[in-house]
Amino acid sequence: MSINGTLISYYFICKTKLWLHANRLNLEDNSEDVRIGKVLHEIQEQKTKKAEIKIDNVKIDKITKEYLVEFKKSDSDPEAVKWQVLLYLYKLKQKGIDRKGKIDYHEKNHNTKTEILELDEQNEKELLRVLEAIESLINLPKPPASKFENKCKKCAYYEYCFI
Ligand code: SF4
């Protein structure tokens, strides 16, 4: 399976969620958070007058001369976003395009924050290890056991896991 930005971010958010999503148990279309994310995304696209750029199976928000830019509505999962952007930088590099990553957080309360990151030798090796681990995980015959955490309350799979 070709790993996209959603799958790699779920690896860091919740491995049960990763398995459920990868195995097509998709309950997320009705989640309010997912809908808000989509709307914010559309607004941001209109502001920048640029549509997403699609490379293989990943959608990139924006590319400038120096940066690949990812827009986010919250900084609640910074590790997941970091690896998502590193995956995009890796996919670009495979096409012969070298960029740094820029994550622009635009939160609901109008707070904004920017983070810059680079794909270096060390995190590229780690990325390849993570991609292998994701492949193994989604090929498991059943999902890893659910563990309740605060974030579960907002997760589209909450009912599946706990009710
Ligand atoms: S409800 Fe919690 S354990 Fe279940 S998939 Fe969502 S985040 Fe993971």
Q: pLDDT tens across 124-163, in order?
A: 999 999 999 999 999 999 999 999 999 999 898 999 999 8
Instruction: Report the nearest-CA residue for atom 5 of ligand 1.
Output: 17
Atom of ligand 1 nearest to the CA of 17: 5
Counting Cα atoms < 13 Å in the Cβ hemisphere of 93 gives 14
| pLDDT of the residue at 41 | 63
Work out the mean pLDDT of the chain and round it to a whole number.
86
Q: Quick one: pLDDT at residue 143?
A: 94
Q: Ligand 1 centroid to 148 CA: how many Å? A: 7
pTM for this predicted structure: 0.81
- Pair type for strands 58-60 and 62-63: unpaired
- The stretch 40-52 carries a mean pLDDT of 60
Question: Taking residues 93-110, what's their average pLDDT?
Answer: 89
pLDDT for 106: 84
Which of 28, 150, 151, 153 to probe ligand 1 with, by most ligand atoms within 8 A of CB?
151
3-state class (DSSP) for residue 54: strand
- How far apart are the CA of 28 and the centre of ligand 1, in A? 12
Distances (CA, A) of 75 to 28, 71, 72, 82, 104: 20, 10, 7, 11, 9
Ligand 1 centroid–CA 102 distance in Å is 28
The first and second tokens of residue 133, run together, are 């681990």
φ/ψ of 70, rounded to 5, equals: -120, 125
Q: Which residues contact 129 (CB under 8 A, 6 or more apart)?
A: none
- For residue 45, pLDDT over 70 is answered with no
- Split at pLDDT 50, 70, 90, the class of 75 is confident
Ligand 1 centroid vs 121 CA: distance in angstroms?
A: 32
Which CATH number does 5-162 carry?
3.90.320.10
pLDDT of residue 38: 64
Residue 29's pLDDT is what? 56
